[in-house]
Amino acid sequence: VERPIENYWRIRLAGVAAALEKNNFAAAAVSSLAAAKRLVLEELLPRLAPKSISWGGSMTFTATGLYDALKEWTGGRVIDTFDAAASDDEKLQRRREALLADLFITGTNALTQDGTLVNLDMIGNRVGALTFGPKAVIVLAGRNKIVPDLNAAMHRIKTVAAPANAMRLDKRTPCVKTATCHACDSPDRICNTWTITEKSFPKGRIQVVLINEPLGL
Ligand code: SF4
């Protein structure tokens, strides 16, 4: 078999996509970041025909190039919550407005192989939108986010994703120094609200795009 790792993950992703569909998510598995971008721009966006669109913090979303592509999107209103030129108050206001967008795009901290999404948020705008508000949500997930079960998901988030995200965001938390969680009381703590999305309700509201590359934290 050529490219055994890609082939291995192609089979694994197909299994996870089937498990997600069983849980009422819509799911697709693609081979690369470029294929994920094409799927969103050429299939999902025309089908969903959103009148407004926004997104939550996700390195995978940025890596696809969708952020740059969608900033220029002319199909309706764009609520840019990453805009470096916006003040903190303006960003907060945009995050609130994003909860009413027709379409919200984000990543996930972990994804269990039986098809559930596990997330831990600082502000809560990302898990808020995942749970309720936007009519449709697209979740972009690299293959490294797949874990066996809920315990492994929480373990992954507290031992890898949260400390690494705290480092990425230049937080003054103990995990930045030790690369492990200290259940801190820091004002900079990025770990505030957990969500476990066991099923998509209504059916198909959350569309998961599984990408056969290691992406994000
Ligand atoms: S609770 Fe604090 S120490 Fe633990 S991962 Fe989150 S920010 Fe870091």
What is the rounded radius of gyration, in angstroms, for the C-alpha atoms of the chain? 17
List the one residue out of 77, 74, 95 whose CA is nearest residue 86.
Answer: 95
Ligand 1 pocket, residue 163 CB under 6 Å: yes
What strand order describes the sheet that includes 193-197? 146-147, 110-112, 117-121, 193-197
Has residue 163 got a pLDDT over 90?
yes
* Burial grade of 87 (CB within 10 A; 0-12, 13-18, 19 or more): exposed
Nearest atom within ligand 1 for CA of residue 120? 6
- The pLDDT confidence band at residue 72, using thresholds 50, 70 and 90, is confident
What pLDDT was estimated at residue 57? 87
Task: Find all residues with CB under 8 Å of 36, minimum gap 6, and list them.
Answer: 30, 64, 140, 209, 211
| Token code pair at residue 101 | 């967008």
Has residue 174 got a pLDDT over 90?
yes
Q: Which of 160, 171, 173, 177 to mutate to test the pocket of ligand 1 (most atoms within 8 A of CB)?
A: 173
- 98-137 tens-digit pLDDT: 999 999 999 999 999 999 999 999 999 999 999 999 999 9
The mean pLDDT of the chain is 97
- pTM value is 0.97
Ligand 1 pocket, residue 183 CB under 6 Å: yes
- φ, ψ dihedrals at 79, nearest 5°: -105, 100
What pLDDT was estimated at residue 109? 97
Task: Give the pairing type, strands 26-30 and 77-79.
Answer: unpaired
